Structures are given as C-alpha cells and as structure tokens.
Structure 1
C-alpha cells in the first residue's frame, strides 16, 4: 500500500509499504480520512522528547525516525475480517474508533507503534471490539475528528466543572476548540476562549464560546471580578462565611508549551481547577507555594476511553457538536509533508484532514 512514512531525517516520504495483515480479533480497513494531530507534528520535530515523555509516562516508545505510519484520527471502511472475529458489521461499513491497537502483535497506539500503522496509509488494522460504525451517514472526514473531540470530552468530564463555574479555555487548536464544543453542547456558560489567532477565535465563537479574548490585547485573568469569581483565598472564605454566592473557575490549559502552566497558576483565582490538557514535552517551572496558597487543583487528562469516544461520535453525528467546522484543509498522501508545515500558521489552518 502507499503510505506517508517517517524517515531518519525527521521528514516523511510517500512510498510503498507492505499491506497490514489482520490477526486474531482484528479487521482490515481502508482509510477514508485521517486528521493531522499536533502530537504528530511534535513527534516528527522532536522525536527524543516524544519518546522520553512516553517512556517516563510508563509507555513503550517507538522511534519515529525508524519509519512509522502516523495517523490516529481516522475513519475507514471494513475490507475483511481476521480470524476469531464476530463479524457483526458488514464488509463496507464505515467505521472509526479509539486509536488503541490490541492483538497478538502486542499493544500500542495506532500510528505510533510499527505493528499498528495509522491513517496516513491506505490500509490499517483495527481491533474489532474497539471499532464503531459511523452513524447517520456522517462524512468520514468529520467522523475522523471524533478522536480529538473525544479527548476534549474526557477533559471536561474529568474537570468536575460545576453548573455555575466559569470556564476558560487557553489555546484554540483542535483540542481547545473541542473543549469549547464539549462545554457548549452541554449548555455550559460562560465559556471564555483565548488565543492569539483571530481565525481560531472565530472558530471558537462559531462553536458557542460566550467571549473570545486575544491575550495580546487583554488578559482573561482580569475578568474574575466581573464574573463574580473571588480572586483570593480570603475573599472566597469571606463569601462562604457570609453566605454570598461565589462562582468557581476551571481553566483548561490546551497550549502545552513551557511557561504557560506557570502563568495559569499565577492568574487563576483561589479554589480553581486547572486542567492540564496540552502535552508539554519540555521541562517547565512552577512555584508550588502559589498553587498551595490558592488551594488550586491541578489535574491531567489524556486520550479518551471507548465510552467517551462513542458518546462524542453520536454527539457529532446528531449535530450537537459541529466538528466539521474546524476543518480548514484536505490533502492526499502526497500533501502530508506540506500540510505539516502549513499547520504552523494558525491564521491559515486549524485542522487538515488527509484523504489517502
């Protein structure tokens, strides 16, 4: 099959590679669409940091320079079943699913493990038990975005956000936009969306953000008093003692670059929850005393469980989440390398989808 294969010089080349073969409990699918994820960009640009993060997190890292077929945001159609499968979905069914590879070859993340080539190739093998039929005739390009939007859904679920809490979303890449969409789909507000890019702020507004902020012009941390959120610990204690209603705040850090988490801790109001959604693979520095004094909760979140993936897929298919609105480009396999470069320009692109 043709695939965009990573190389030792941190680039990609489109070439012929062997077709994957489904083993026990697996099925062979033909890729219809695959989103380009920021994680792929990071893995290609800095493979050492990518592998070290995986290693220190308890994972099994594979070197992107050894020739991987990336692509974990996919939609595909069933071509054939391997042995030991139930074959509940007819051949030709359009499917997607969480990018978890499981089988006799071992386990790994689809697109980041050599035994589970991803959607930047014409064919993939998937675990039957994790494969979901795409409902309602949903466009495969949109169905492929279930993966990043399900990551956002999990972040919102894990945040424990209260009905009256203020939500601040920092960074409006696909995951940040997904967080905005997940919040507004539940009727939550207010949602403040923050990004330097005017185009991405416009996308967030289209997904229902109540307020969009350019941090070059204004700080989201200056809005607490206007939104009835006590800033200091003493202020929050006083409000509680006097029986005065006081909102909480949840800040979703979806940027993932050094220095942002420290800024969030300094700018967060007392009692806030900070959801660390962006994956920063470099060292950062924070001052724990500030977080302690403010009684902040810092919580990480990563990926999505199958139930969250399935719920997000149906929310998209039923029109409650407009995932397709963030697609800003489509390329074939020969355009993948160029698309990686294009995604470095946030005023031009938010999400590019590969159609092999």
Structure 2
C-alpha cells in the first residue's frame, strides 16, 4: 500500500510529521496530491492546547483543512474533476441530523463534519498530507494557470466572504475591521470588492496592518488607540480578533443602528463586553460561522484578481519544517498566512 507524509497532532505540544498509509478510495472518492496547506488558528490550537474550545483530541489526528493540489486519481464513478485537474477543497461534509437548522445554512447543522476537527469521535482526519482521499463532492476545480499559493487562500477567503455578506450592502459604507490576522485581512479584501467606501483596519501589530493596507484598508489604527476606534463611527464592523477586548472595540466603533459581525471565535463561557452600549445604539450583532457555497464565488474572484489577496500569504515552509512553520504562524507580529509545501 502507498504511504504519504502527514502532519499529525497527538496532544498538547505534540505535533509530528509522520509516514501514514494512504487509504484505498471508494468509487465516489478521488485521490489528491496536496501542493499547499494553509495553517489555520484551529491547527495552532490543537498544537498548543490539544483542543479547540470543547473539541478535545482523544486520539491522534491529521491536521489541516485549507488545501490545494492536483487530482492523481479521479473518482471511479465519474463524478468530480478529472485526473490532472488542480483543485481546492471545501472541507465540510453533511450528515443527517434531527436537530433543527435553516435548510439554506448547512454550516449550522450539527451533522457537519469538517476536515481536521476533533469535534466528534472518531475524529475527522484532516488534509495535511502528501496524498489525501476525499469525496469528489468536496473538490472544486481551479481555473488553469491560477497560482496555487494564492488559491490556497480559497477556504479562509470563503470564511471572510461569508462574514462580510452577513452585513448586507456595503457599497459606499464605512467598514471597521478589528483584528487583521489572515481572516481579518481577507475580510478587508472582500469589503473592498463589495464596494466599501472606507475600510479602517485595527490590530496590535504593524505587520498585519501592512498586509491589510496592501489588500484594501484605507486607514489603520493600533488596537491600543481605543478613543480613535470609538470615533470611527462605522456602518459595519467585522470582529475577527476573537477576544472580548476586540468585541468591546467593535461595539464601541459601530455607529448607532450599525451592524457588528462576529467572525472571530471567542473562548467558550461568559465574556465581559459592554452589551448595554449595543442595546442603546440598537446595534445588530451577528454571528458568522465557517461558510456554505461561497467558495464557488471566491475561486473565480481570486482567478480574475478582483479579490486581490496575494499579500496575505507571507511564508511557505516545506512540510518537513512543520514545527517551525507553526511557530511563525503563531506569531502575529511577523506573519500573515503561512503555508506548508507538500
């Protein structure tokens, strides 16, 4: 049987690069040779803590869900891209559940499995491997000639696209983005594409603000400049810092009757935020979780460069240097999106 190199989380502070057996595909599955994998905050949480919130590692699990590559064996049933096609991956699969959720929002179904997630047991293996076997329905063929380094951003850009779409019409409006890590920077780029007149980007560090400016921010502020943030008076705020201080700044920086989209995943449990201000300003507070079919809009926008996001990728490491890559990705002062090259 074939073996492949893979990035496997065994527990807290225990991520290993190992050789694993490539499973035999079913007739509805394709084999993809992975070119790049983007390191997500969830991958870093499994590395540092052995968990993402309440999703706790109970067995070794392959990490990763932001991948692009080439089909080396098409699905035997004839579905999906042909052999030789370059593809991005939609990392979600949906299983039946009796729990209610909006039918047009499958991302809210508790029956969804996501690549590289310990939310359920057995865990859903991820895609940080030289070769992966996936249902052909998860594959999205990429336009010929598209730089796979940029295409590797298709999944997080879809998260950003979903978040910005939650706010409704942006044309001519003032947008405030709190937290300019990869998702925050990508929301800046999507907001620009959607016609925002002003985009104010906020972060603690200079490097993320430089990236945000490169993809469309018209002004930047440091997260410590709380008075200036409160004075932005934004029609729409995207909170992507994922902590209570960021959410407090988002509420403070929103105009009366404005909208705050919360895409940064805060820790579980109670959070100390100025909710009274949200009430008296009649703010709309909207959650945003993963994405649905947005990836099918994101890929052509990346290809024609109307969604200009290349500056978000700042580092590429060979998979053999995974631990160094994870350390760089965890340092927001020096990196944007960090890719593993397989």
Q: TM-score normalised to the size of structure 1?
A: 0.83
In the alignment, is residue 207 of structure 1 matched against residue 193 of structure 2?
no
In the alignment, is residue 272 of structure 1 matched against residue 258 of structure 2?
yes
Rounded Cα–Cα distance in structure 2 between residues aligned with 1:132 and 1:110: 15
In the alignment, is residue 309 of structure 1 matched against residue 309 of structure 2?
no
Rounded Cα–Cα distance in structure 1 between residues aligned with 2:139 and 2:57: 25
Of 25, 30, 48, 2:33 maps to: 30
Aligned positions, number: 321
Rounded Cα–Cα distance in structure 1 between residues aligned with 2:310 and 2:141: 18
| Shift, 1:196, TM fit | 1.9
Instruction: Give structure 1 regions of 4+ aligned residues with deviation exceeding 6 angstroms.
Output: none
Q: Match for residue 75 of structure 1?
A: 68
1:23–1:103 contact (8 Å) kept in structure 2: no
Rounded Cα–Cα distance in structure 2 between residues aligned with 1:140 and 1:102: 27
Q: 1:22 to 1:102 in 2, by over 3 A?
A: farther
| Shift, 1:146, TM fit | 0.5
Partner SS state of residue 160, structure 1: coil
| Shift, 1:132, TM fit | 1.2
Rounded Cα–Cα distance in structure 1 between residues aligned with 2:331 and 2:13: 19
Rounded Cα–Cα distance in structure 2 between residues aligned with 1:316 and 1:220: 33
Rounded Cα–Cα distance in structure 2 between residues aligned with 1:297 and 1:279: 18
Rounded Cα–Cα distance in structure 2 between residues aligned with 1:314 and 1:220: 37
Of 248, 271, 274, 1:262 maps to: 248
Rounded Cα–Cα distance in structure 1 between residues aligned with 2:123 and 2:67: 17
> By percentage of residues, which structure has more strand?
2
In the alignment, is residue 323 of structure 1 matched against residue 304 of structure 2?
no
> By percentage of residues, which structure has more helix?
1
User: For residues 115-140 of structure 1, what are the alpha-carbon distances to aligned partners after superposition, in whole Å with 9 as ceiling and x for unaligned?
Assistant: 75333211112221231111131122
Moved more, 201-210 or 174-183: 201-210
Structure 1 segments unaligned to the other structure (5+ residues): 53-60, 230-247
Which of the pair has more CA radius of gyration? 1
| Shift, 1:279, TM fit | 0.7
Q: 1:219 to 1:47 in 2, by over 3 A?
A: farther
Partner SS state of residue 305, structure 1: coil
Give the aligned CA root-mean-square deviation in angstroms.
2.3
User: For residues 53-84 of structure 1, what are the alpha-carbon distances to aligned partners after superposition, in whole Å with 9 as ceiling and x for unaligned?
Assistant: xxxxxxxx4x435211111111011122344x
User: For residues 196-231 of structure 1, what are the alpha-carbon distances to aligned partners after superposition, in whole Å with 9 as ceiling and x for unaligned?
Assistant: 22121111111121111123356443434xxxx5xx
In the alignment, is residue 100 of structure 1 matched against residue 92 of structure 2?
yes
| Shift, 1:21, TM fit | 2.8
User: For residues 134-160 of structure 1, what are the alpha-carbon distances to aligned partners after superposition, in whole Å with 9 as ceiling and x for unaligned?
Assistant: 113112221111111111011111111
| Shift, 1:171, TM fit | 0.6
In the alignment, is residue 178 of structure 1 matched against residue 170 of structure 2?
no
Q: Match for residue 159 of structure 1?
A: 167
Q: 1:287 to 1:329 in 2, by over 3 A?
A: closer
2:175–2:199 contact (8 Å) kept in structure 1: yes
Q: 1:41 to 1:297 in 2, by over 3 A?
A: same
Q: TM-score normalised to the size of structure 2?
A: 0.86
Moved more, 135-144 or 258-267: 258-267
